[in-house]
Chains A and B, each alone.
Chain A
Amino acid sequence: MTNRPDDDAFVRRVRDAYAPPPLSAAQRTRFDAALEERIARERWRFAPWAAAALAGGAAALLVLSRLGPLATPPEVADETTPEEEYVLALAGGADEFEAALPVEYRAIAGMIDGE
């Protein structure tokens, strides 16, 4: 009700004449389907952000896992390997270089040199 009875009657006439047609069962079903589709679209719209966050996290883990061994000091071997001895011999001079050669190489070298 309004302040005046004639206002009340006027409002009632407007309300009756300007009434939305009710939703039919088919319209309700269509409405629900469209709403479901809209919400599903919104989920997809936000999905790339979640995927990007996951990818970022995975990349960060990968980088950290690769940085981990580099960050630790390299292990020092107790014994030198043959390759290392060869390099050390090269650095030490010709005699040591000869001595560092395998026996077979030294025999061939002696035959060539006429020893």
Chain B
Amino acid sequence: MTNEDRDVEPVARPGVDDVGLDSVAGGFARVDLGREQRFAEFVTAHRERAVGLAWRLVGGDRAAAEDVAQEAFARAWRGLDRFREQAQLSTWFYRVLVNEANRFLRWRWVRQRFGGEMPDEPPDARGPGAGDPLLRGRIARALAGLSRGQREAFVLVHLEGMRITDAAAVTGRAEGTIKSQLHRALAALRAELADLDPEREDSPR
């Protein structure tokens, strides 16, 4: 963690920081493994995190999250050889995944806007998972109300525990832009989800 990241550091998450982008990419760059084996290792190392990130970006839709993650992995399979030396496959992979999630959101919006589909609750909002399903649905809607940049910055840094530098690399934006987007996202979410504000302990959950 660099000093410049400390002004907007993500909340530490057990089990995430030990599978950082660099460490996995470094292991993947070994040239003594076969292509299939290297890809299998990559999938195993990133599957849970990729599906989780996609789940958060697409608003809690498990089926869509798996589809987005699989498309990103399929692209990683195609681009595998290009990253043998660079050890930057994981950063590129998460950039592809974020773009795929945005593509899904755009198509869902188009289907809802022009295909007559009704916007509905996130499919997993009442499904299994930790916490209150109604609250999950509210958070999903609040995140959907953010701009794309704000949503990505908030999810990557605060929910996924990425460093500012990694989030900047994944999104292709400057670190200062990420920090600004985090600040605005946080303000918007605190206004939208005021009952989660710690200063309002008497508010309903």
Contact = CB atoms under 8 A, between A and B. Distances in A.
Contacts of A44: none
Interface stretch (B26-34, B105-113, B122-130): B122-130
Interface centre among A11, A12, A34, A42 (most CB of B within 10 A): A11
Given A2-B186, A14-B139, A21-B127, A35 B196 contact: no
A95 interface: no
B74 interface: yes
B158 interface: yes
B156 to A, nearest CB: 12
B66 A18 contact: no
The contact size tier of chain A is: 20 to 34
- Identify the 5 closest CB pairs spanning chains A and B, nearest first: A20-B55, A21-B129, A9-B198, A18-B139, A20-B52
13 contacts: A1-B9, A2-B158, A10-B189, A11-B158, A14-B193, A17-B139, A18-B136, A21-B129, A22-B48, A31-B70, A34-B70, A38-B71, A42-B74
Contacts of B65: 20
B70 A14 contact: no
Interface of A: 1-3, 6-23, 28, 31-32, 34-35, 38-39, 42
A42 to B, nearest CB: 6
B51 A23 contact: yes
Contact of A31 (B6, B13, B51, B182): B51
B127 to A, nearest CB: 7
A13 to B, nearest CB: 5
A14 B130 contact: no
B11 interface: yes
B175 to A, nearest CB: 15
B196 A13 contact: yes
A16 B186 contact: no
A9 B199 CA distance: 10
Contacts of B158: 2, 11, 14-15
Nearest to B195: A13
Given A10-B196, A17-B135, A20-B55, 4 more contacts: A2-B8, A2-B158, A10-B186, A35-B70
B81 interface: no
B101 interface: no
B47 interface: yes
B72 to A, nearest CB: 10
Interface in B69-96: 69-71, 73-74, 77-78
Given A16-B131, A42-B74, A28 B159 contact: no
Contacts of B10: 1
Contacts of A18: 56, 60, 131, 135-136, 139-140, 143, 159
